[in-house]
Homo-oligomer: A and B are copies of this chain.
Amino acid sequence: MTAPLYPLQYEGLVREALREDLGRAGDLTTDAIVPPDRRARGAVVFRREGRVAGLDVALAAFRELDAAARVGLQTPEGHDAAGGEVVAIVDSSARALLTAERVALNLLGRLSGIATATRDVVRSLEGTGAKVVCTRKTTPGLRVLEKYAVRVGGGGNHRFGLDDAVLVKDNHRVLAGGVAAAVARVRAHVGHMVKVEVEVDTLDELREALDLGVDVVLLDNMTLPLLREAVALARGRALLEASGGITPETARAVAETGVDMISLGWLTHSVRNLDVAFDIQPTSLS
């Protein structure tokens, strides 16, 4: 039961994306060629294997252009589609299919790309007990959608922003004059419903953080041996998050050190769109 997206959160984006593509003069090609009463059917096809994420968001583009469009999901959100598999079918005016296609695919391709990449890393860690989480390195304006796609891929969400949890980073530590001072100031000023995480570079700093009783410690760019020592040292007194330059290739080794979670910026900032196509065929009756 992945936490859902609310239409309230994406309708504006879908409309904005359509306006961005329609510009002022609209779809010149389609409007010149296709009569307004022509109807057609379009099939959304995964060109290669991947996890389906963002169907509702993507298909909303067709409904914006044809309120009477009928959408048939062929596979549920979050399932793994085979290469060539049809994941949804849209019956609507032919114009709406042609005009909304690119916006729908741009959204579906991006979100399914993130979900698929997340799923692959999650799978690669099976048996290790480490969780995969994303970061705030998201596309401006799309954070809610991209973090949702990570959840569909089986990953977890780190902070959604600067305001839902504390993360004391290097610069904060320096400006505060040490971890202890930073944490003290945080505790004096932040509400009781907020968790506190501290970033550390060394085992000494880790010790200091653990003694302060923080909820989570971010182990920044540590070597595998150091990570193992950190796990041994913490003995569950705080959650441990490994971070910094971890790739799908190195993730398993990091996970095997025993950390509780691994955070990966590239899940949202450098992932490839999944290749999704849209096959249109005229329907007999208009």
Main secondary structure of the interface of A (DSSP, over half): mixed
* B175 and A38 form a contact (CB under 8 A): yes
Looking at the assembled complex, report how far the CB atom of A238 sits from the nearest CB atom of chain B, in whole angstroms: 11
* A162 and B9 form a contact (CB under 8 A): no
Interface string of A1-32 (1 = CB under 8 A from B): 11111101100011111111111111111111
* B20 and A140 form a contact (CB under 8 A): yes
Interface magnitude class on chain A: 35 or more
Indicate whether A234 reaches chain B with its CB closer than 8 angstroms: no
* B175 and A282 form a contact (CB under 8 A): yes
* A29 and B193 form a contact (CB under 8 A): no
A13 to B142, CA, bound (A): 11
* A3 and B189 form a contact (CB under 8 A): yes
A98 to B141, CA, bound (A): 20
* A22 and B186 form a contact (CB under 8 A): no
Interface string of A34-78 (1 = CB under 8 A from B): 111010100000000000000000000000110000000000000
Closest B-chain residue to A27, C-beta based?
B162
Binds B, one of A79-87, A104-112, A120-128, A250-258: A104-112
* B19 and A139 form a contact (CB under 8 A): no
Looking at the assembled complex, report how far the CB atom of A43 sits from the nearest CB atom of chain B, in whole angstroms: 12
* B141 and A20 form a contact (CB under 8 A): yes
Q: Chain B contacts of A176 at CB under 8 A?
A: 33-34
Indicate whether A228 reaches chain B with its CB closer than 8 angstroms: no
Q: Choose one: B23, B142, B167; the contact of A161 (CB below 8 Å).
A: B23
Interface string of A238-278 (1 = CB under 8 A from B): 01000000000000000000001100001001111100000
A131 to B191, CA, bound (A): 10
Indicate whether A118 reaches chain B with its CB closer than 8 angstroms: no
* B28 and A162 form a contact (CB under 8 A): yes
Q: Chain B contacts of A138 at CB under 8 A?
A: 106
Given contacts A98-B172, A190-B28, A239-B192, contact A35 B1 (CB under 8 A): yes
Interface string of A93-104 (1 = CB under 8 A from B): 010011100110
- Best-buried of A31, A144, A176, A182 by chain B (most CB within 10 Å): A31
Given contacts A29-B172, A29-B186, contact A159 B3 (CB under 8 A): no
Given contacts A24-B20, A27-B163, A140-B13, contact A172 B216 (CB under 8 A): no
Indicate whether A195 reaches chain B with its CB closer than 8 angstroms: yes
Closest B-chain residue to A4, C-beta based?
B31
Q: List 5 A-B contacts (CB under 8 A).
A: A17-B141, A25-B163, A98-B172, A109-B269, A270-B272
Extra contacts, 4 of them, besides A6-B22, A23-B160 (Cβ < 8 A), are A3-B189, A5-B26, A8-B22, A26-B163
The 7 closest A-B pairs by CB, nearest first: A17-B140, A23-B163, A25-B163, A270-B272, A32-B189, A27-B162, A165-B193
